[in-house]
Structure 1
Amino acid sequence: MTVNEIIEENRQLQLQYTKALNTIAALENKITKLQKENTILKEQNKKLQKQNNILMRAIEIAISIKNYDAQTGFLKKVLQKIKEETGELTR
């Protein structure tokens, strides 16, 4: 191998090294972004699970109420309370 070939090989290796570092940096940025998104989604999931538990319990209670009007009134109150807590429209 000549000196010029060694120099050229060194340049190519430096280019590969630079590309690898750029790829690593880009992947680290993606990981950070995904971790933030994952944290947000976990929090949203927690809230939705809480709402689901409330609704399931409300349904159980409503089933035990014999009067249809009382059932619907109770469920409407539960939905209204969830709407107030979340600020979301619920049907």
Structure 2
Amino acid sequence: MQSEQAVELGQQAFMQALLIAAPILVIAILVGLLVGMLQAMTQIQDHTLSYIPKLTAILLVMCICLPWIFEKLTEYSAQLFTSIPQMIFGG
């Protein structure tokens, strides 16, 4: 395996990880921001109050996005496993 192939493989893996994690992270940020704004408006300064809405939103998004996440992971894994012989034998 040449260094260009290794860099490309690492870049593809990083992009897949970002793509898979993006919906969950975006929802967690948005819910955290919304709860923070509500806490500021009502002057409730309890740090543990934001955990329940965040966890609920993350679980909901994971339940909705899980088939898509599995599809992306299996596509990437299949692509990776089919390209391994080319990388090893230089074809």
Q: What is the TM-score normalised by the length of structure 1?
A: 0.42
Larger RCO (alpha carbons 8 Å, 6+ apart): 2
| Greater C-alpha Rg | 1
TM-score (norm 2): 0.42
